[in-house]
Amino acid sequence: MTDLSDATISDRKITFGIIAGEASGDILGAGLIRSLRQRYPQARFVGIGGEEMIAEGFHSLVPMERLSVMGLVEVLGRIRELFRIRARLLDYFFATPPDVVIGIDSPDFTLAIERRCREAGLLSVHYVSPSVWAWRQKRIFKIAKSVNLMLTLFPFEARFYEEHQVPVAFVGHPLADRIPLEPDTVRMRESLGIERDASVLAVLPGSRAGEVGRLGTLFLEACRWIQERRPDLQLLIPCVNRDRERQVRDLVEALDVKLPVTIVRGRSRDVMAASDVVLLASGTATLEAMLLKKPMVVGYRLSGFSYALLSRLVKVPHVALPNLLARRELVPELLQDDATAENLGEAVLERLDNDDERGRLKEAFTELHHTLKQGADERAAEAISELVERGVH
């Protein structure tokens, strides 16, 4: 911890260069700016960010949307523009050097900038670790040359960096700060028009078109298998936007048996909170379901080639975040050939009817929630502040 008084710190006009490339990074950046400004009221924040960061007084040199590119084809189509944006940002940072450069997620774009800045003598921080602990682990050596400090959301990530002597701070996960330890299932059901005593299954096949295309029909077939055995079960599918809603409706209509499904646009967290069990794709949604204390079944499929390739590259025993955090299997992971309608359906029914298992899961999930509930915005700001003060003095 720094020995400098708050008054001494706050009097200095610090400049923070921040780069966020997508909506999740914009939210993290806004929280970080709020906490940093409490330490440095005269601070200036500049770089690339979205509406959330701009609302906190951030100056974005380029609209963040120009960085929000998904998929190889889309990236290749915009590669020249991305290089121009990177060059413009570096020119700005070299001409008017910030006290520290902070890249938030988007590692393919931000880490290269962080490395150039560090080579030029600027302090650099990366917030949200790439999944280097899971695959392509040799990237750690490039990261070590790119950053003065890595900020991680999960403790197992911090352990990996410590093992490789990379300066790191575990700050916790902002979602754990925002989601209450005791979710209000009754209130969420009322807001969605669901009876208090209904049996509810939330179904989340993913947020992107490719995921929904691969998993949507499989999950719907599993729902049909379950409904044959539990006709009272209500099925809710949240869709991130109008396009995904249309895609899911087409998949439902393509089934040879009519399946009673309620589709909800947005509100995926509310739908999970209102459910008894969640059937979902691997990803961040598994963390949300865990923080909401919901039993879940994780299913995922890739193309045969992609799965064979990743099976050789991935170095972790689990894919679901609750299992990675607990270092053991808390929730079932049914992947590739194991992800059948019957297997998924059986796993869901087991969790619907087993009150003892639900109690054990809630206890384990609550413990993990406490682990992640660290006040991420404040801890990240504290770690960055200490780095800046060491650099200044």
pLDDT of residue 393: 43
Amino acid letter for position 186: V
Helices (H) and strands (E) in the chain, counts: 19, 13
pTM tops 0.75, yes or no = yes
Count the alpha carbons within 13 Å of 365 in the hemisphere toward its beta carbon.
26
CA dihedral 115, 119, 120, 123 (to 10 degrees): 60
Residue 80: what pLDDT? 84
- Report the distance separating Cα 60 and Cα 53, nearest Å: 9
Q: In what order do the strands lie in the sheet with 296-300?
A: 261-265, 234-239, 200-204, 277-281, 296-300, 333-335
Amino acid at 95: A
Tell me the C-alpha distance between 57 and 253, whole Å. Answer: 47
Which CATH number does the domain 6-172+374-392 belong to among 3.30.360.10, 3.10.450.40, 3.40.50.2000, 3.40.50.300?
Answer: 3.40.50.2000
pLDDT of residue 5: 45
* Per-residue pLDDT, 308: 55
pLDDT of residue 354: 86
**Hey, how many other C-beta atoms are within 10 angstroms of the C-beta on 27?**
18
Q: 38 is written with which tokens?
A: 């409490």
Please, what is the angle between helix 209-229 and helix 242-254, to 10°?
A: 50
Q: Which CATH number fits domain 185-372: 1.10.10.10, 3.40.50.11740, 3.40.50.2000, 1.25.40.10?
A: 3.40.50.2000
DSSP state letter for 166: -
Domain(s) of CATH 3.40.50.2000: residues in the chain: 6-172+374-392, 185-372
Bridge partners for 73 per DSSP: none
Provide the residue-wise pLDDT of the chain in tens; the chain has 393 residues.
444 444 445 677 899 999 998 888 999 999 999 999 999 999 999 999 999 999 999 999 999 888 765 443 445 556 788 889 999 999 999 999 999 999 999 898 999 999 999 999 999 999 999 988 655 678 899 999 999 999 999 999 999 999 999 999 999 999 999 999 999 999 999 999 999 999 999 999 988 888 899 899 999 999 999 999 999 999 999 998 899 999 999 999 998 888 889 999 989 999 999 999 999 998 889 999 999 999 999 998 876 656 555 565 566 678 899 999 999 999 999 998 899 999 999 999 999 988 888 899 999 999 999 999 999 999 999 999 999 998 754
Side-chain half-sphere CA neighbours of 95 within 13 A: 6
Helix, strand or coil for residue 232?
coil
| CB hemisphere CA count around 292 (13 angstroms) | 25
